[in-house]
């Protein structure tokens, strides 16, 4: 069984995956999507989203914990998607992931993400072009939802992914219109899995060990991808794979403190206050102490004040 750490734009970035992979026993990370339009992007763009590439060398991009990191691209033009994919592999990425699941209105309006699920042929052409542009042993994966407005093309889209040469497919078990509202329709992943021969990774509404067990049972998938659940239980990958306990609150506080140092010394430090509050909102699903801490810092507006409060807790 593999547990993959999903990207979440503006939340599960490289700082977060560095921390989470040190405690979560994850097998793979996928970066936030890099938007491809009509040019080959400069190296600095890929390094910004995936700093692990800077020291990738011959071993490929990995977090400090040794977890492989796969760069994710999002776009609609087969040529430029292929050119950028080739460049990413040259820079040392542990593979290429193609995003056909993003539900953002802005992204969809510009013919990116889940809007492409309305056009299986375009899906096919993009993946085929990417696969042909990279070395034959490169892992090219794709992530889809069950559809855009409905699920009528779910099987056809999955078959297009396979026919184009993708090595594996992640399925988020909801349509674009369904967004992130429960439930996740894991039974549809099972239908997709029986219709194609490449490995399928199940994604959606996996918040804890019970969810993981149920998802594997219903979907028939042994491999899972988790996103928001990893923010709720930082060691969720370990919990799922080893059926272990969730980490104690004191260890969570230590991670929060480490995240504070990352953020307040990084190029996005101005977002720190909102980010730490957002993380605590997820954590409080399993930790009463997180709810209490959120109440204490909710009105604080500076990183220094929040850091001081975290120091008190430790």
Active-site annotation, residues: 102
Distance from chain centroid for Cα 45 = 18
Tokens of 230: 């990893």
CB count in 10 Å sphere of residue 187 = 12
The C-alpha R_g of the chain, in whole angstroms, comes to 19
The residues with which 201 forms a beta bridge, in sequence order, are 170, 223
Cα separation, 260 vs 239, in Å, equals 25
231: phi > 0 → left, psi -120 to 50 → alpha, else beta; which? alpha
């Amino acid at each position: 069984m593999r547990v993959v750490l999903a990207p979440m734009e503006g939340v599960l970035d490289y700082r977060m995956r560095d921390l989470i992979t040190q405690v979560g026993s994850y097998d793979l990370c996928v970066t936030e999507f890099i938007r491809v339009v009509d040019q080959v992007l400069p190296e600095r763009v890929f390094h910004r989203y995936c700093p692990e590439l800077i020291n990738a060398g011959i071993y490929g991009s990995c977090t400090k914990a040794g977890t492989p990191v796969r760069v994710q691209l999002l776009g609609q033009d087969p040529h430029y998607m292929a050119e950028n994919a080739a460049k990413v592999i040259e820079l040392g990425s542990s593979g290429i992931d193609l995003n056909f699941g993003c539900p953002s209105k802005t992204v969809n309006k510009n013919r990116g993400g889940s809007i492409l699920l309305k056009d299986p042929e375009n899906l096919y052409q993009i993946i085929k072009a990417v696969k042909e542009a990279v070395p034959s042993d490169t892992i090219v994966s794709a992530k889809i939802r069950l559809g855009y407005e409905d699920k009528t093309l779910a099987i056809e889209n999955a078959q297009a992914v396979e026919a184009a040469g993708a090595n594996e497919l992640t399925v988020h078990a909801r349509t674009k219109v369904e967004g992130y509202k429960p439930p996740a329709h894991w039974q549809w992943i099972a239908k997709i899995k029986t219709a194609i021969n490449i490995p399928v990774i199940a994604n959606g509404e996996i918040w804890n060990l019970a969810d993981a067990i149920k998802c594997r049972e219903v979907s028939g998938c042994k491999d899972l991808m988790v996103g928001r659940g990893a923010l709720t239980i930082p060691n969720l990958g370990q919990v799922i794979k080893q059926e272990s306990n969730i980490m104690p609150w004191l260890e969570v506080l230590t991670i929060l403190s480490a995240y504070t140092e990352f953020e307040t010394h990084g190029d996005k430090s101005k977002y720190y206050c909102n980010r730490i509050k957002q993380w605590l909102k997820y954590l409080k699903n399993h930790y009463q102490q997180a709810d209490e801490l959120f109440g204490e810092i909710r009105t604080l507006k500076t990183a220094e004040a929040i850091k001081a409060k975290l120091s008190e807790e430790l």
